[in-house]
Structure 1
Amino acid sequence: MSIPIWKYALSMLTYFVVLLCITELLRKKYKLANIVWICSLLTFPLWLMGGVSGWFRWAKILSVILPTIVVGFCRIANFEERKGSFWEFFQKGWILWFVYGMLFLNILEATLKDVSLGNYANAACGFLLCATIPFAPKFWEYSKTGEGDLICYTTVGWNFLYTTWNLCFVYGESPNYFASTICILMAAELYPIFKKKPELYIMSRVYTLATHMILRSCFGTMFLKVMDASTWYNASFAKYWGILNFILIIPYLFWYMWQLHTGKAEISFKRGKTNNNVTTLNT
């Protein structure tokens, strides 16, 4: 059954705004955020009822929600400088490598799925995205002011390439959820712009993706009633989109390597800003 254009527009705009509001609320209320994500695991019976099946879908949900919970504990532990073995566990330097690793794994999961779907060019782009994630802990920090944000100094180019790569992946893997994916990726892109804090991209991406994964797992049929984009799918378009993504990331890869080689990354990745209000984690 075809969906009227006005329903796409209304539902996508509504979902986009909802995602921005949820991100803003959970970013500011970091304790509430962690309670929400911990409690979200209790909704797993709805995942089963909603038809969640297959290794990729379960791995995707858990590899998003569990690290989001870890990020929540880290925000509390580092921002409030809590004492005790439990909280000090989340103040160790390796924890930033863990978060880095979860982002790496999240991209790698989709990349391997792209390979199985035969979209090799987009998969190659995914592998290069993994290789160009700014290293932890040099470009990852926890803020000591405001809301104790997780800060990651990704570049504008990396954010854009991640967005177009991810859209292409979802377009080929789950075209019926492509419209809702546009919403979560645009919310993640635009939230840091609205806040004038580009270093919040990864945090906004974590929260928009975690929100979407829970809602989709529990109420997947709701999305399909108002945003089913399966009729938009075209295999040739997906193939050439993947090729374009691969072409675009090649010059970025060389730029990224040049920034690291020349020592300019400290400035270019951080957009010329030095953030002194951050937590230096213990090794």
Structure 2
Amino acid sequence: MNFTILKYALSMTMYFAVLICIVELMRKHCKLANMVWICSLLTFPLWIMGGVSGWFRWAKILSVILPTIIVGFCRISNFEEREGKFWGFFQKNWILWFTYGILFLNILEATLKDIALGNYANACCGFLLCVTIPFAPKYWKYDKQGVGDLICYTTIGWNFLYTTWNLCFVFGESPNYFASSICILLAAELYPFIKRKPELYIMARVYTLATHMILRSCFGPMFITLMDASSWYNETLWKYWGILNLILIIPYLFWYMWQLHTGSANHTFIKKDSYLHSKFSRM
């Protein structure tokens, strides 16, 4: 028993630490990050060897990796203000809608799966998360300063609700990968806290999810060996967890709509020292 707990504690702590380091590395070096994700497509033979089969699994992997590559091109193009038709393509405002849309579809996909699994409360929470994503391009940007961050002005509350909703989803859909999912979601949740920038949540989520997707595709059995959490599953807990998520997001929904209605969103969503805040303050 003690050995089992120690195994989970060590493997999850190490994986969490690795993910934090990967996010930091890829955040600070956007060119390196993009090269890594482009090259990651060449690992597809390992996907096959790792047990990836069926069009859905392949589509799932590519639907994560390809947008991550596009995010990389956007970061480089905007940060370095590159010229030319190719780079100019990634500097248009509509590309922010594309990034927004990928997040929306990612949540919607899991929401539909929750419905199929019968966790209707968690599915409702997922739908409301879609509704409360800050609009693009108003609350999204590719920063031209610092390290070229992808900035999305989600709130601390939204970040937390997304995390608990997603954990509940994985708990029911893939309980054997629940422990590793805790690591990737906590890394994305805590990285913005470490940096004191909640607007980095989406970028942290992009890189932790892409990292996990590649590692799971190439070395799937490793996660089962080190962090198999299938024995943790409890259907009653799963259902009540979904209900709790729905209860939590309802007041957040009203708060979110009130911020938009009163025009306070420009101040509550965006930090006072940010570029966008100063821009809106002059409007």
Q: For this structure pair, what is the TM-score category when the shorter chain's length is used for normalisation?
A: over 0.9
Contact 2:111 2:123 in 1 (8 A): yes
Give the superposition deviation at 1:271: 3.8
Match of 2:281 in 1: none
Match of 1:202 in 2: 202
**Runs of 4 or more above 6 Å deviation:** none
Contact 1:60 1:106 in 2 (8 A): no
Distance 1:274 1:24, change over 3 A: closer
Distance 1:239 1:37, change over 3 A: same
Match of 1:221 in 2: 221
Identity of aligned residues (%): 78
Give the superposition deviation at 1:12: 0.3
- C-alpha separation between the residues in 1 aligned to 2:194 and 2:38? 28
RMSD of aligned alpha carbons: 1.9
Match of 1:27 in 2: 27
- C-alpha separation between the residues in 1 aligned to 2:257 and 2:53? 39
Is 1:260 paired with 2:260? yes
Give the superposition deviation at 1:270: 1.0
SS in 1 for 2:224: helix
Match of 1:233 in 2: 233
1:180-212 deviations in whole A, cap 9, x for unaligned? 000001100111111122211110110011000
Distance 1:146 1:277, change over 3 A: farther
Match of 1:47 in 2: 47
User: Which residues in structure 2 correspond to 1:8-87 (within 5 Å)?
Assistant: 8-87=8-87
Give the superposition deviation at 1:52: 2.1
Where relative contact order (Cα < 8 A, 6+ residues apart) is larger, the structure is 1
- C-alpha separation between the residues in 2 aligned to 1:35 and 1:271? 31
Contact 2:270 2:277 in 1 (8 A): no
Give the superposition deviation at 1:64: 1.2
- C-alpha separation between the residues in 2 aligned to 1:269 and 1:55? 39
- C-alpha separation between the residues in 2 aligned to 1:277 and 1:31? 28
Match of 1:123 in 2: 123
- C-alpha separation between the residues in 1 aligned to 2:93 and 2:263? 22
Contact 2:271 2:277 in 1 (8 A): no
Is 1:169 paired with 2:163? no
1:150-172 deviations in whole A, cap 9, x for unaligned? 10000011000000000000000
Contact 2:270 2:276 in 1 (8 A): no
Contact 1:26 1:32 in 2 (8 A): yes
- C-alpha separation between the residues in 2 aligned to 1:55 and 1:271? 42
Give the superposition deviation at 1:55: 4.8
Flag structure 2 segments of 5+ consecutive residues without an equivalent.
279-283
Give the superposition deviation at 1:96: 0.3
Contact 1:143 1:277 in 2 (8 A): no
Match of 1:141 in 2: 141
SS in 2 for 1:211: helix
Match of 1:114 in 2: 114
SS in 1 for 2:221: helix
TM-score using structure 1 length: 0.95
Give the superposition deviation at 1:277: 10
Contact 2:142 2:148 in 1 (8 A): yes
Is 1:103 paired with 2:95? no
Match of 1:190 in 2: 190
Match of 1:281 in 2: none
- C-alpha separation between the residues in 2 aligned to 1:248 and 1:256? 13
- C-alpha separation between the residues in 2 aligned to 1:51 and 1:123? 29
SS in 2 for 1:4: helix
Give the superposition deviation at 1:226: 0.7
Contact 2:15 2:183 in 1 (8 A): yes
1:68-118 deviations in whole A, cap 9, x for unaligned? 100000011111111110000001110000000000011111111111111
Distance 1:265 1:273, change over 3 A: farther
User: Which residues in structure 2 correspond to 1:239-254 (within 5 Å)?
Assistant: 239-254=239-254
